[in-house]
Chain A
Amino acid sequence: MTDGLPKWVDIAVIPLINVLLALILSALVVWMIGEDPVRAMTILVNGAVGSAYGWGYTLFYATNFVFTGLGVAVAFHARLFNIGGEGQAALGGLGVALAMLYVPWPHWSLALVGATVAAALFGAAWAAIPAYLQAKRGSHIVITTIMFNFIAAALMVYLLSRVLLVPGAGGSPETARFAEATHLPNAFALFPWMGWSRSTPLNVSFFLALLACVGVWVLIWRTRLGYEIRAFGHSEPAAIYAGISPVRITMIAMLISGGLCGLMATNAVLGEAERLVIDPVQGAGFVGIAVALMGRSHPFGVFLAALLFGALYQGGGELQFEMPSVSRELILVIQALVILFTGALDNMVRMPLEKVFVSARRRPAPPEPTSPKGADNDPIAKVEP
């Protein structure tokens, strides 16, 4: 895939060009509805990264996307397409809510540990059934995980409106607020000198997300399990030849994937809402797919892509607020364009760039007819006429 391209072009230049192309096209769309595209893009960028307030939201969203992006990425390494991040994260939220409501936590740090365990367990459990069906029955994981998103949504509605509903809370389907002791310190509480606002949603879960990036990197590139997961993802027949059990790898990779998606709830449910509401995920499970694709399933790439999407979410929100004629749907169009350009249309930029690099390299020194073998043998005697 990267033949002929220096690594820095592959991981930095190409995504950057893709994002720029997407933004240019977005500007065109804004212009077509009769708004000033330059002003729109300025609001978009400024809203996302122009102030501490903007950063607070951008990084908060990015934290969500890091978790779901990592989850999808781990499954990708085993060539499993986990579309169920949405449902797994919702179930993670349920786990967090149960742990917070029924255990009297003395301090937020312990509560965070408890929430992390509960979120991962519930997310993994929700991924376990599609994983089992794929591993043992061959039911396609794309279909089953999508279906499980719907089941999760229905389950959440049922639980929040019938079981976990607070009596007399005014009818909105949500749980009671978690106890004061479990509230995670936000950026304002931790680093007041950095100018965060008091209500910034960015909280300590951000560091948990960074930790998850490192953890996934170690898992995929340093452990034997990661070696086996990648091998299985590259070639199932080869994995079987090497004695790697497809059932085992499918199960483990999906459990880890679901667990990571579930972890998103530590940020959205425990960190921000401090209670479980009807849709705590807000599409982050699907954005995770785009993040994993754009980040090339590498934790560092996932982190950068999550930042970009966090900025798009926040900047898009600002744009909608500042320019009433830019509707919510148009923000979705802009986000979709970024996904389209960075994910699906990647080769459009890659191919011409590869050509440029190859021909630039050829000009200074025309290469020998390549052969992987050394040139230790005498050249054969020229055939004489």
Chain B
Amino acid sequence: MTVASSGPSHTPPPGDPGLAIELRGISKAFGPVQANKDIDLAVRRGTIHGIIGENGAGKSTLMSILYGFYKADRGTVLIGGRETEIPDSQAAIDAGIGMVFQHFKLVENFTVLENVVLGAEDGAMLKPSLAKARRLLTELAHEYELDVDPDAVIEDIGVGLQQRVEILKALYREADILILDEPTGVLTPAEADHLFRILKGLRDQGKTIILITHKLREIMEITDTVSVMRRGEMTATVKTAETSPEELAELMVGRKVLLRVDKAPARPKDVILEVRDLHVTDAQGVHRLKGVSFDIRAGEVLGIAGVAGNGQSELLEVLGGYEKATGRVRVKGHEIDLTGSASDAQTRRARGIAHVPEDRQREGLIMDYRAWENVAFGYQKDFGGTLMDHAAMKRDCAGKMERFDVRPPDPTLAAKSFSGGNQQKIVLAREIERNPDLLLIGQPTRGVDIGAIEFIHQQIVALRDQGKAILLVSVELDEIMALSDRIAVMFDGRIMGERLPSETDQGELGLLMAGMAGEAA
């Protein structure tokens, strides 16, 4: 394996102008937590440089230092070979750095053009700036496939286009170095491919691109060089062509990781869940589910694929008991009340439905509650009618933490003190150990480190093998492919089609996810 980075043993040379960015000995601590520890990084001009690492490895902190959000405790930043102070984001922009955040920073009711210009106006009057931006947008659109209608309002265009606006904003500010933080999280495979073509085009024009991601496939697909971070340290920098996903995973986690899920073929039995013609209209009057029907049998995993926001969340909420709907749902032959007084999460749990929600920090856990309090959450009636049995809750929690390998196994820690993966294990332990007939599970590994993903996938498969019905919702196509026995693709509140994982591929699913049923069929 070849290492492209300069180790700390080198004597610090004067800046190499061939490097777009060079970081030397960057350290940053938050209280007692060392988020970045003596980081060296060299990014060559005109390359796509990937930075990969688990959640909490320090990627975002490092990029925030580069973009002027945080000040490093120690270390120097060199841009284009010159030592540069970056006290705030304006300094970063002046130094030619552009950042595309995971959560877009756009004004929803402004047009594309207005967003591009916002904060970079040339004078007190808007008109000259807008005209200049319009010219530039037309040029860029031709050059890099960055077509966006300049007069479209942000809230009316899709996330893929919104992301292009973010890139255009950076280019309008004459960025030479573009940092993208988890850019494909909200994109369909086709949109992601398009983004990659844009990025390659930009690189070929001499721009430097830093791509932060946790997806190994993307790293392998488009980067030239990749740096791996683990626990605040830069553990390696390698040429992408000379490494493999397995090696990168091992570098990220610190041990060998199984990237595929081992599972036997499903042996489905009786139908557990019957869903017929489900319709949901939300408070704004938007039709979120438009007639969804499916069955799940005991001992099988039905995976729901789709880009976020196409009705999957509403489906989980209806089945979990906190969204009203019309249609019919039966669990083990019992009719479920979808609108009346018996339509709440407590009644669903009593019916044998367990639910691992999509957003564990917002719904699944009370972040300020201690682990032992969270382990009773949703099942608090089991721990006492009036007074709660704290001793029993703590015992229950300690047992679950041991069986689900939660670290640290300390029931008295608040939920917010655990890492994403360990938080998810707490939720999973709580829901799985109730021995439900049906498990609803949304985004089981979002924000979860690779090591914990493996464990969580094993638990889902084990539950299936015990003869439970599982409804899996995930925006990660890899995860859907790996875990599901059947795959249903949702688009715009409808199920576009059902496929067997053995008889489909990402390309076909991607077309379905984009709503193109005809071509995919």
Contact = CB atoms under 8 A, between A and B. Distances in A.
A325 interface: no
Contacts of A235: 362-363, 366-367
Contact of A380 (B7, B235, B373): B235
Contacts of B377: 231, 238, 242
B268 interface: no
B369 A222 contact: no
A352 interface: no
B32 A4 contact: yes
Nearest to B34: A369
B102 to A, nearest CB: 21
Interface string B13-54: 000000000000000000111100100000000000000000
Nearest to B355: A241
B34 A370 contact: yes
Interface stretch (A49-57, A270-278, A371-379): A371-379
A4 B32 CA distance: 8
Interface in B225-278: 230-233, 235-236, 238, 250-251, 253-255
A228 interface: yes
B346 A243 contact: yes
Contacts of B362: 235, 237-238
A242 B236 contact: no
Nearest to B235: A380
B406 to A, nearest CB: 9
Contacts of B349: 243
Contacts of B390: 222
B365 A240 contact: no
Nearest to B423: A372
B31 A371 contact: no
Interface in A88-121: none
Given A241-B364, A377-B255, A223 B369 contact: no
Interface in A332-385: 358, 361-362, 367-374, 377-380, 383-385
A243 B321 contact: yes
A242 B430 CA distance: 12
A240 B357 CA distance: 12
A324 to B, nearest CB: 50
Contacts of B339: none
A367 B422 CA distance: 22
A237 B363 contact: yes
Contacts of B373: 227
B367 A243 contact: no
Contacts, number: 127
Contacts of A361: 32
B387 A367 contact: no
Contact of A370 (B32, B347, B384): B32
B417 to A, nearest CB: 7
Contact of B378 (A218, A237, A242, A370): A242
A245 interface: yes
B383 interface: yes
Contact of B231 (A225, A240, A371, A383): A371
B455 to A, nearest CB: 12
B383 A224 contact: yes
Given A358-B32, A372-B422, A385-B3, A231 B369 contact: yes
A222 B380 CA distance: 12
A316 B345 CA distance: 53
B385 interface: yes
Given A238-B362, A243-B349, A377-B254, A383 B32 contact: no
Contacts of A238: 362-366, 377
Nearest to B451: A373
B250 A380 contact: yes
Nearest to A357: B31
Nearest to B37: A369
Contacts of B295: none
Contacts of A230: 366, 369
A329 interface: no
Interface in B315-346: 320-322, 344-346
Contacts of B346: 242-243
Contacts of A242: 345-346, 377-378, 380
Given A245-B344, A369-B233, A234 B250 contact: no
A234 B345 contact: no
A370 B58 CA distance: 11
A235 B364 CA distance: 10
B141 interface: no
A225 B320 CA distance: 22
B1 interface: yes
Contacts of B376: 227
B236 A241 contact: no
A385 B9 CA distance: 11
Given A241-B364, A362-B32, A234 B369 contact: yes
A250 to B, nearest CB: 16
A360 B31 CA distance: 11
Given A223-B387, A371-B56, A372-B418, A241 B357 contact: yes
A231 B278 CA distance: 31
B232 A3 contact: no
B145 interface: no
Contacts of A378: 254-255
Contacts of B388: 222-224, 227
B407 interface: yes
B368 interface: yes
A199 B383 CA distance: 50
A368 B231 CA distance: 10
A359 to B, nearest CB: 10
- Of residues A218, A234, A372, which shows the largest number of chain B Cβ atoms within 10 Å of its Cβ? A372
A224 B381 contact: yes
Interface in A51-81: none
B386 interface: yes
Contacts of A369: 33-34, 37, 231-233
B347 A243 contact: yes
A383 B33 contact: no
- Of residues B32, B250, B367, B378, which shows the largest number of chain A Cβ atoms within 10 Å of its Cβ? B32
B408 interface: yes
B366 A234 contact: yes
Contacts of B60: none
Contacts of B230: 380
A371 B359 CA distance: 22
A235 B359 CA distance: 12
Contacts of A377: 253-255
Nearest to B373: A227
A222 B393 CA distance: 12
A80 B321 CA distance: 25
A241 B32 contact: no
A237 to B, nearest CB: 5
B333 to A, nearest CB: 23
B419 interface: yes
Contacts of A237: 359, 362-363
A372 B419 contact: yes
A102 to B, nearest CB: 34
28 contacts: A222-B388, A224-B381, A224-B384, A227-B376, A235-B363, A237-B359, A238-B362, A238-B363, A238-B377, A241-B320, A241-B363, A242-B380, A243-B321, A243-B322, A243-B347, A243-B348, A369-B232, A369-B233, A372-B418, A372-B422, A373-B419, A373-B422, A373-B451, A374-B407, A380-B251, A383-B235, A383-B236, A384-B1
Given A224-B384, A242-B380, A378-B254, 9 more contacts: A224-B388, A235-B362, A237-B362, A242-B378, A372-B417, A377-B255, A378-B255, A383-B1, A383-B238
Interface of B: 1, 3, 7, 31-34, 37, 56, 230-233, 235-236, 238, 250-251, 253-255, 320-322, 344-349, 355, 357, 359, 362-369, 373, 376-378, 380-381, 383-388, 390, 407-408, 417-419, 422, 451
Top 7 A-B residue pairs of the complex, sorted by shortest distance between their CB atoms: A243-B346, A243-B345, A242-B378, A241-B363, A369-B34, A377-B255, A383-B236
